[in-house]
């Protein structure tokens, strides 16, 4: 999906795909050759002519780690915005962001580095999305919402206006958040309620 968005945007020439399954080397993805694994990043940067890398991973923690590896290799994280997305010119974007088809992001919103706004998600005005957070397909963030680092907003979830979702928290698919969500918890249901702690953290 991310490669499809990159190709549709036609802003960059795509020279290859990295996949950490070595068995896929030499195959193609959407017509683009798989040229190696992410462990080959430094060597490939010397052999191929490219300056940037898109990290196409849904897992927040893995996406963050790979993005750091890209920077350590001296390469630039590339932002991808599908041409079918609607992003206000008054939105502030960090580096390495992915915004997929049908997503809408309204004025005054700020996206930190490595944020993913997935298919048909709606992010209304004056939201703040923390580093390496992910808004899944068809999720809705009303106005004035603050989403912490590494937060996961599940498919079809709704976060009501002016609420905060703490970093490392997971909002389950279809949940409706009607009050602030603490840091490092999992909430589900309508209205959303805490069911357990979310213990995963960055490497």
* Residues marked as catalytic: 125
| Rounded Cα distance, 150 and 200, in Å | 10
| Rounded Cα distance, 149 and 168, in Å | 6
Say which DSSP state 181 is in: B
Write out the H or E segment, with its range, that includes residue 29: strand 28-29
Number of H helices, E strands in the chain: 3, 24
Q: Which residue has the tokens 């020439």?
A: 13
| Rounded Cα distance, 95 and 78, in Å | 7
**Where do runs of H (alpha helix) occur along 1-99?**
2-9, 41-47, 60-72
**Where do runs of H (alpha helix) occur along the chain?**
2-9, 41-47, 60-72
| Rounded Cα distance, 126 and 110, in Å | 7
Q: Per the structure block, which two tokens stand in for 182?
A: 């603490």
């Amino acid at each position: 999906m991310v490669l499809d968005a990159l190709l549709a945007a036609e802003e960059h020439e795509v020279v290859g795909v990295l996949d950490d399954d070595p068995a896929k080397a030499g195959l193609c993805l959407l017509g683009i050759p798989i040229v190696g694994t992410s462990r080959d990043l430094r060597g490939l940067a010397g052999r191929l002519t490219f300056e940037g890398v898109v990290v196409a991973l849904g897992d927040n923690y893995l996406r963050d780690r790979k993005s750091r590896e890209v920077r350590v290799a001296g390469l630039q994280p590339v932002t991808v915005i599908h041409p079918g997305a609607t992003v206000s010119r008054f939105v502030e974007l960090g580096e390495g962001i992915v915004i997929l088809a049908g997503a809408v992001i309204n004025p005054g919103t700020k996206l930190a580095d490595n944020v993913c706004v997935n298919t048909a998600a709606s992010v209304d005005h004056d939201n703040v999305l923390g580093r390496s957070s992910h808004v899944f397909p068809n999720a809705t963030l009303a106005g004035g919402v603050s989403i912490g680092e590494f937060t996961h907003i599940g498919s079809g979830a709704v976060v009501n206006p002016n609420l905060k979702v703490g970093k490392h928290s997971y909002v389950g698919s279809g949940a409706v958040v009607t009050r602030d969500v603490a840091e490092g918890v999992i909430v589900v249901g309508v209205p959303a309620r805490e069911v357990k702690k979310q213990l995963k953290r960055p490497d």
